[in-house]
Chains A and B, each alone.
Chain A
């Protein structure tokens, strides 16, 4: 691990100021010399492995604004402070009642210990666990731009079939993000150029030719809150996560779904897919395929085909297309049958 300077700012503007001083406008947050740390469950790991090498670490856990640690339920929806821990959000009674998909996505992620440490903002900004990214002796365009991608022709069982490029097929492994993108969440961020709102769907960037650019955030920008709009029918929502073992494993495929039903007919569907894409993945084609249709195994299958129409398999991950479709079908049917 590279030695680093550790600071504990107590308010966001101070944190932003320090970050601004030690980064430039063009720095990527993941590659900047000064980086923010929340729960540390991802960044500390990558620092030990030499994947992340910040020279200055700004610990956000001493920020004094109480709103950063609160979950506020209002008529407009729900607002999560950025430092709320995953476990707090997944256990929150109103979250569970109003947005089962959010509670599920957090409950099924990581382990109890990690959920108690990891912050929500850190969770959505977690980086890929691609084996070739994690270990510095492999070629990786995301870690070292232009060095090549060892995963492309390597052991790529866990890699993405959606949203990849010739430069990178690393999966976005988060679960919570799938719920957020499905529910049209909005982020609040503060940086040296002021405060702004970012639609969650605009946060992550597909790899394209620049897989080292992972998000829309500037290096001195801090996510302060996550807002989910009020969606009355989101009570009919769930997150289905399929993995090799029962707990503490990343999704091979997952689906976040929320349904507005009129009897068995779909007024509106929200669908996001995890474990199969390079970024949090909203499956709009699948949503459209279901709109106005009776939801049954056949229509769910048509929607699943639409969701994966553009999928690009590699040698070891081709099964994810079929698995992803089945996961979505099962999630839709289980959501349809929910008692709400």
Chain B
């Protein structure tokens, strides 16, 4: 076994290579901007250069003079189309061409369509706008912000969680800290650029666009275009990086669909890297105040977490990570409050572990500070405060292996060799620091439909409208079918990423593996039941067998007693060539409308903090070593170890890959990533990968992922806790902890940069 394919431990599946790996590395996987290829017209966006005001005049003559220009879609051309809605399927309520008001930098003002990509780009660059501009509000501390409480503003953030009497407990605490932390604006920057290709076949609209939510988009796009959702198809078979950026649909999709209708031919719009900063969502800037009170023994008695988050004027997007931070440890008393700060910015949105990344960063940095204040080892401090039940609703955790994660990661990292004294460790001119932090991610699951077909020759086809965003969901769905139907992985094909397939929930919230595998499991079991019933029926090859225990292996039904029958023969007795099952999986606790909502593109999430019986989370512990040059203070991360427990691991290779990617991203969040905002104009400054830094290969040296075995039957039938977003939670706090250990400097504002360590 090599590092990339860890040997499975208990309750962990084989490290099968991705079933679509070959297609991807040989260029045969078709991404949404690759197809179709015939008769394409090309679209390019023109966007605003102000953040607040009105477009008073558009000069289109120069653009119209570009040879090959076909059309310009702009104000007035979208009047027969409904405005977008903000929500799970819609990134913003701003209809950029519905009204001349500018709400943010980089807002769409026109779409130029031409015979070639180059002509479209040239024309878009030649569109000049005149503005009546107004002084914009950039962010926190800018004049003109409006602050509102977050609770109740989003279905995902109903309340500010609390428990006990924080004020009294904090006042009485022997040891306390009261600190503020912040995280910057970040953009997803997936390598695949954002694109939309739309064409009409009669009254049927087909859209090729990278999407994490084909069903939701189908319904929302049909609503905007005022047509039947059955007339809209969204196609997104492969996605070149999503991270939440392709979860909600943006206003561009309807604009390109309208352009395709006007021209009567396919229109493809691939947006530029720079434009993506304004036309897509992003991770909101956040600020935090954390107060922790504890006894001298290290037992926490009081915890308060206040958060402030930037959002747009029209839409109240809530980050809101206090549900997780408020349940992390055995606090005694908890007080939380989240506020939204509205500014002249585009609407933020989901970005890998949206609530947890900033909120847990603040919590874990504070936990490290508190450990230092108490003079305790930070691992020991967390061990002391390990809860039996979560502090808010006093519910048990369905499973919680945090301490096992700490123990295994600490062992692998060599934590015991750390000299706890600040600045005590060095190697020549390099100061060495070591730190750690907790990772947590809520375990949710949603309704999901799937169709599975088994044919007499042993071929299996799995169809599910989920999305391969790089997680390996196609592969794990195939593994589930392989296991339940007893056929080799090479006999299984999996179709995903198309709204004409059985609907799956949005691929967000790390629910896909749990939801899809639960649906595939249910479909396979329905096939098994039919096969066994036919095999044991009168005249069947296993007639008379009443033992309900059997298995499917190598194309055969094998009863517990040893008798077996070929699936092929059973199908013959059934007089069918294939068995196909269409199933709908609904998680425990689903409402009667749950499945209708799945088809409507608004799936219910269950689990996490929503269930009556228990709360459900996956956990991890990350340990980081940093090296900081004595003179020049650049910060490097030679080593990182993460141990994670997430119920059943379907595939140790894809699981490790997800966690590794998350940890690397976490290092980037700690040291590199930030979208810089020019505060005078509320405009983004570093709008490309030259200036928006993410880690490169040279930044990542020794990285180890440990998959800690865990069994949890309560989370969902597949026993799976999502882990796609677990790896980048806590990482930045572990880096901050290590930087403190090396230098004695506590950096509370991300990213941590050279200039913070020079004085």
**Set A1, A136, A242, A248: member contacting B122, Cβ < 8 A:** A1
Further contacts, 16 of them, CB under 8 A, given A248-B696, A322-B758, A323-B758: A1-B121, A131-B686, A134-B690, A150-B678, A154-B680, A155-B676, A155-B686, A240-B632, A242-B634, A243-B634, A245-B698, A248-B698, A319-B754, A319-B758, A322-B759, A326-B631
- Complex Cα distance, B753 from A136, in Å, reads 28
Which 3 A-B residue pairings sit nearest by Cβ, starting from the closest?
A319-B755, A137-B49, A247-B698
Known: A150-B678, A244-B754. A326 touches B696 (CB 8 A): no
- Whether A249 and B693, one on each chain, are in contact in the complex, defined by CB atoms closer than 8 angstroms, is yes
The answer, yes or no, to whether A135 is at the interface (CB within 8 Å) is yes
Q: Is B613 an interface residue (CB 8 A)?
A: no
CB-based nearest B residue for A129: B690
**Across the interface, do B698 and A323 meet the contact criterion of CB distance under 8 Å?**
no
User: Do A131 and B685 touch across chains, with their CB atoms under 8 A apart?
Assistant: yes
A149 to B680, CA, bound (A): 13
Q: Mark A144-159, 1 if CB is under 8 A from B, else 0.
A: 0000001001110110
How many residues on B have C-beta within 8 angstroms of the other chain's C-beta atoms? 36
Interface residues of B in 610-658 (CB under 8 A from A): 629, 631-634, 636
B753 touches A246 (CB 8 A): no
A252 vs B123: C-alpha distance when bound (angstroms): 37
- Given contacts A323-B755, A326-B632, whether A50 and B696 have CB atoms under 8 Å apart is no
Nearest-neighbor residue (CB-CB) of A111 within chain B: B696
Mask, A243-271, CB within 8 Å of B = 1, is: 11111110011000000000000000000
- 11 A-B contacts, Cβ less than 8 Å apart? A3-B118, A134-B690, A135-B687, A155-B685, A157-B676, A240-B632, A245-B695, A246-B636, A247-B696, A247-B697, A327-B632
A23-52 vs B, Cβ < 8 Å mask (1 yes, 0 no): 000000000000000000000000001100
List, in ascending order, chain B residues with CB within 8 A of A244's CB: 634, 671-672, 693, 753-754
User: With A and B bound together, what is the CA distance between A49 and B122 in angstroms?
Assistant: 10
Q: Determine if A3 and B122 form an interchain contact, defined as CB atoms under 8 angstroms apart.
A: yes
Enumerate chain B residues within 8 angstroms of A50, measured Cβ to Cβ. Answer: 125
> How does the 8 Å CB contact mask read for B659-697 relative to A, with 1 for contact and 0 for none?
000000000000110001110100001111011010111
CB distance from B277 to the nearest CB of A (A): 11
The CA of A225 and the CA of B672, in the complex, are separated in Å by: 38
Interface centre among B678, B685, B690, B693 (most CB of A within 10 A): B685
Chain B CB within 8 A of A21 CB: no
Number of A-B contacts (CB under 8 A): 87
Contact of B754 among A3, A49, A248, A323 (CB under 8 A): A323
Instruction: Given A131-B691, A247-B696, check contact A323 B632 (CB 8 Å).
Output: yes
Rounded to whole angstroms, the CA-CA distance of A121 and B686 in the bound complex is 27
Main secondary structure of the interface of A (DSSP, over half): loop
Nearest residue, chain B, Cβ from A247: B698
Contact A155 B678 (CB under 8 A): yes
Q: How far is the CA of A249 from the CA of B746 in the complex (A)?
A: 26
Q: Which residues of A contact B690 (CB under 8 A)?
A: 129, 134
A132 to B678, CA, bound (A): 10
Within the complex, the shortest CB–CB distance from A99 to chain B, in Å, comes to 23
| Residue of B632, B678, B687, B759 ringed by the most chain A CB atoms within 10 A | B632
List the B side residues contacting A157 at CB < 8 Å.
676
> A245: which of B688, B696, B759 is its contact (CB, 8 Å)?
B696
A193 at interface by CB-CB < 8 Å: no
Contact B634 A1 (CB under 8 A): no
B678 touches A326 (CB 8 A): no
Give, as a whole number of angstroms, the nearest-CB distance from A253 to chain B: 8
- Quick one: which of B121, B125, B633, B676 contacts A326, CB cutoff 8 A? B633
A104 to chain B, nearest CB (A): 15
Q: Roughly how many angstroms separate A248 CA and B631 CA in the complex, as a whole number?
A: 21
Report yes or no: B685 in contact with A246, Cβ–Cβ below 8 A: no
Q: Is the CB of A246 within 8 A of B699?
A: yes
The residues of A that contact B696 with a CB separation of less than 8 Å are 245-248
Q: Is B583 an interface residue (CB 8 A)?
A: no
B489 within 8 A of A: no
Within 8 A of B (CB), among A311-340: 319, 322-323, 326-327, 329-330
Cα A323 to Cα B753 in complex, Å, equals: 12
CA A246 – CA B695 in complex, angstroms? 8
Question: How far is A243 from B633 in the complex, measured between Cα atoms in Å?
Answer: 10
Cα distance A55–B636 in the bound complex, in angstroms: 45
Interface centre among A49, A129, A244 (most CB of B within 10 A): A244
- Considering only residues 78-133 of chain A, those with a C-beta below 8 Å from chain B are 129, 131-132
Residues of B within 8 Å of A327, CB to CB, are: 631-632
Query: Given A154-B678, A154-B680, A330-B631: A135 and B274 within 8 A (CB)?
Result: yes
Distance, CA A50 to CA B127, complexed state (A): 13
A134 / chain B contacts, CB cutoff of 8 Å: 688, 690
Cβ contacts under 8 Å, B633 to chain A: 323, 326
- Kindly list chain A residues whose C-beta atoms are within 8 Å of the C-beta of B697: 247
Return the CB mask of B688-721 against A: 1 if under 8 Å, else 0. Answer: 1011010111110000000000000000000000
B50, closest chain A residue (CB): A137
Contacts of B122 in A (CB 8 A): 1-3
CA distance A332 to B672 in the complex (A): 28
Least Cβ distance of A163 to chain B in Å? 21
A193 nearest CB across to chain B (Å):
35
- B685: chain A residues at CB < 8 Å are 131-132, 154-155
For A47-64 the 0/1 string (1 means CB < 8 A from B) is 001100000000000000
- Chain A contacts for B699, CB-based, 8 A: 245-247
* Residue from the list A132, A155, A158, A330 in contact with B632, Cβ < 8 A: A330
Chain B hits for A330, CB < 8 A: 429, 629, 631-632
Give Cα A329 to B629, complex, Å: 13
Interface residues of B in 231-287 (CB under 8 A from A): 274
A330 CA to B753 CA, complexed, in Å: 19
Q: Which residue of B lies closest to A248 (CB)?
A: B696
Q: CA separation between A240 and B429, bound complex, in Å?
A: 14
Are A246's CB and B698's CB within 8 A? Answer: yes
| Contact of A242 with B636 at beta-carbon distance under 8 Å, contacts A131-B685, A132-B685, A153-B680 already known | no
Given the complex of chains A and B, what is the CA–CA distance between A209 and B429 in angstroms? 43
In the assembled complex, which residues on chain A have CB atoms less than 8 Å from the CB atom of B695? 245
Q: How far is the CA of A3 from the CA of B114 in the complex (A)?
A: 14
- Of chain B, the residue at the smallest CB distance from A242 is B632
Q: Which residue, of B677, B680, B688, B755, has the highest number of chain A Cβ atoms within 10 A?
A: B755
CA distance in complex: A249, B753 (Å): 14
Residues 197-239 of chain A, each 1 if its beta carbon lies under 8 Å from chain B, else 0: 0000000000000000000000000000000000000000000
A129 to B759, CA, bound (A): 28
Q: How far is the CB of B700 from chain A (nearest CB, A)?
A: 9
Complex CA distance for A154 and B682, rounded to whole angstroms: 11
Q: Which of B39-75 contact A (CB under 8 A)?
A: 49
Closest beta carbon of chain A to B678's beta carbon, Å? 5
Task: Output the nearest chain B residue to A333 by Cβ-Cβ distance.
Answer: B631
- Residues on A with C-beta less than 8 A from B687 are 131, 135
B671:A245 contact, CB within 8 angstroms = yes
In the assembled complex, how far is the CB of residue A124 from the closest CB belonging to chain B, in whole angstroms?
19
Binary A-proximity of B481-509 (CB < 8 A = 1, otherwise 0): 00000000000000000000000000000
CB distance from B279 to the nearest CB of A (A): 15
Complex CA–CA separation, A81 to B695 (angstroms) = 34
Cα–Cα distance between A323 and B629 once the two chains are bound (Å): 12
* Closest Cβ–Cβ distance, residue B758 to chain A (whole Å): 5
Give the chain B neighbours of A2 by CB distance below 8 A.
Answer: 122
Contacts known (A3-B118, A245-B698, A326-B632); A252 close to B754, Cβ less than 8 A: yes
Q: How far is the CB of A249 from chain B (nearest CB, A)?
A: 6
Residues of B within 8 A of A132 (CB): 685
Bound state CA distance, A157 and B690, in angstroms? 14
In the complex, chain B residues whose CB is within 8 Å of the CB of A322: 758-759
Q: Which residues of A contact B429 (CB under 8 A)?
A: 330
Contacts of B677 in A (CB 8 A): 155
In the assembled complex, the Cα of A244 lies from the Cα of B633 at a distance in Å of: 10
Best-surrounded residue of A242, A246, A252 (most CB of chain B within 10 A)? A246
Collect the chain A residues with CB atoms within 8 Å of residue B118's CB: 1, 3
Question: Which of B118, B274, B633, B758 counts the most chain A CB atoms within 10 A?
Answer: B758
